[in-house]
Chain A
Amino acid sequence: MDEKLKRDIILDNYQNPTNRGLVDTQGYIRVNTRNSSCVDNIDVMAKLENGIFIDIRFDGEACAISTSATSIMIKTLIGKNIEEVKYIIDNYEKMINEEPYDKDLLGELVVYDTISKQPSRKKCAALPFESIKKIIEQANM
């Protein structure tokens, strides 16, 4: 993907993120995740039915990378089951750690494929996935 297109996707998801704003409805698992450098702070809530993510929402204060990554992640994961989600997370983490990964699984998330060049931003790109991992953990309890 060319750099300009990547930037446009990131910016669009930062400025008009998917499913921003939490809801007060029953049946969601809600977690808070912060970046260890004490900046980003996001809440993510997800609703699962029969092991499938039928809704994911978020809110919080975060930088352009974290916010856009959360937005793109939400679009990518809604409708997938836990196993598929785990597999996507695994591939995403491989991508940002510069290991071999399956590009086709990640869709628009590949816009972060060069994020490892900016080590301080890697954590930002990884943040929303930390939330989903926590949600999966809670769903399995």
Chain B
Amino acid sequence: MNRNDFDMLNSGLIYFDNGATTLKPKCVVNEVVDYYTKYTANAHRGDYDISAIVDTKYEAVRDKVKKFINADRRDEIIYTKGSTESINTIVFGYMMNNLTSGDEILITKSEHASNVLPWLELAKRKGVVVNFIPLNSKHEVTLDNINSVITKNTKVISLAHVTNVIGDIRPIEEIGKVCKEKDIILVVDAAQSIGHMPIDVNKYNISFLTFSAHKMLGPTGIGVLYGRYELLNKLTPLEYGGGMNTYFESNGELEYKPLPERLEAGTQNIAGVLGLGAAIDYLENIGLENIHKYELELKKYAIEKLKSVPNIKIYNENSQSGVVIFNIDKIFSQDVAVFLNHFGICVRAGNHCAKIVKDEINVTNTCRASFYLYNTKEEIDKLVEALNNQDKIFEIIL
């Protein structure tokens, strides 16, 4: 799809590390460059023309995000530097002040570090309890398993929509129903699903949603924290300064602004926000359903072809997203990745920052190929061809 829009592909590079970050289409790059070359100014500040342009564009992106995830209100959208900051803001701004010792939080062993460590830290500081929802034999979350560990103390369930290792899609809509019934806060880490499939915070009854623009064709250093208004309005800011206050006096009298400004202290990543807006336009133009369908087609094709590779073990044949994790028997994953690099193929080796998932799939290291809309079956053929040359691996990498 639309490969010409991605300058990075001009060199023939085969980029299969979309789980880590995605390439940027020209329209996103141009939007960022335009800000720096045509109307550089701060937002919410000046009375001159270019400042007004920036202001309008900056706030227009908020509306785009609102529509993109089907939020009710524009002030439920907070800009952050990415998923990690979004989750930390939820945990240390909201949970820190609204949970009490003994409250339980449910996560799983296949969460990304950024959806594990803040909770473990909160547990240390606040005495809340972090429990793990057991995964089924395919390493997936099921409703039954969730129900089996919910207690009267369960206050929060925090899950990735799509995991970054196995690539399984969680049944968020059904989980949302359970959470609504039992008055549990549902935090969804959409880092791997945003820009790959439709997300609807209303339909899924999501309390907080987090994502990073760089994994959906946007710039690095910009992301979103969505929170349902009643909750978000109770989130204590972690940062204080310009842009978030209405006034302050030397005697300590002060007032903070309403949402969303209250949670956006200091000069924001304006270029990033504008780039995010361009990425949303680009994705909506193609259609999220179409992107998801195409990724599944690539995954199915890849599995079919990869199965013929000697000594390969594939760990997530069935997951319904564009992620394939595999190993070549007796060859260390990093050596495979370095080998593929010699063919201009980028894959990720390692534990993909989900260190506790090793308890689940019983391997600590894998190679991960993660596809996106600009990848093709021809590129997958080249991956297979390279892997079929595995007997030359040490000649090539040493």
Contact = CB atoms under 8 A, between A and B. Distances in A.
A26 interface: no
A63 B334 contact: yes
A39 B350 contact: yes
Contacts of B355: 38
Nearest to B332: A63
Interface in B345-398: 349-351, 353, 355, 364-365, 394-395, 397-398
Contacts of A126: none
Given A61-B332, A63-B334, A120-B338, A39 B395 contact: no
A108 interface: no
B335 to A, nearest CB: 5
A10 B355 CA distance: 29
Contact of B338 (A10, A62, A121): A121
Interface string A102-130: 00000000000000001011001000000
Interface in A40-69: 40-41, 61-65, 67
Interface in A1-53: 6-7, 10-11, 14, 37-41
Contacts of A7: 394-395, 398
B207 interface: no
A64 B394 contact: yes
B364 A41 contact: yes
A103 B394 CA distance: 25
Interface in B315-348: 332-335, 338
B239 to A, nearest CB: 28
Interface residues of B, number: 16
A64 B335 CA distance: 7
Nearest to A14: B394
Contacts of B398: 6-7, 10-11, 64-65
Nearest to B398: A7
Main secondary structure of the interface of A (DSSP, over half): helix
Nearest to A64: B335
Nearest to B341: A120
A123 B334 CA distance: 12
Query: Which of B333, B349, B395, B398 is most buried by chain A, counting CB atoms within 10 A of its CB?
Result: B398
Contacts of A38: 350-351, 353, 355
A121 B342 CA distance: 14
Contacts of B353: 38
A39 B394 contact: no
B338 A39 contact: no
Nearest to B350: A39
B325 to A, nearest CB: 14
Contact of B332 (A62, A118, A120): A62
Nearest to A7: B398
B334 A40 contact: yes
A14 B355 CA distance: 25
A64 B333 contact: no
A121 B227 CA distance: 42
Contacts of B338: 63, 118, 120-121
Given A63-B332, A63-B334, A120-B338, A39 B397 contact: no
Nearest to A68: B398
A126 B275 CA distance: 40
Contacts of A121: 338
A88 to B, nearest CB: 22
Nearest to A61: B364
B365 A61 contact: yes
Nearest to A62: B332
B394 A11 contact: yes
A98 B385 CA distance: 35
A61 B334 CA distance: 11
Contacts of A61: 332, 364-365
A80 B215 CA distance: 51
Contact of B333 (A39, A118, A120): A39
A11 B335 CA distance: 12
Contacts of B397: 64
B49 to A, nearest CB: 46
Query: Which of B334, B338, B355 is most buried by chain A, counting CB atoms within 10 A of its CB?
Result: B334
B332 A64 contact: yes
Contacts of A63: 332, 334-335, 338
Query: Which of A11, A39, A121 is most buried by chain B, counting CB atoms within 10 A of its CB?
Result: A39
Contacts of B349: 39
Query: Which of B335, B338, B349 is most buried by chain A, counting CB atoms within 10 A of its CB?
Result: B335
Ranked 8 nearest A-B pairs via Cβ: A63-B334, A39-B350, A63-B332, A7-B398, A39-B334, A63-B335, A10-B398, A38-B350
8 contacts: A7-B395, A14-B394, A38-B353, A39-B351, A39-B365, A41-B364, A63-B338, A124-B334
Given A61-B365, A65-B398, 17 more contacts: A6-B398, A7-B394, A7-B395, A7-B398, A37-B350, A39-B333, A39-B334, A39-B349, A39-B350, A40-B334, A41-B364, A63-B338, A64-B332, A64-B335, A64-B398, A118-B338, A120-B338
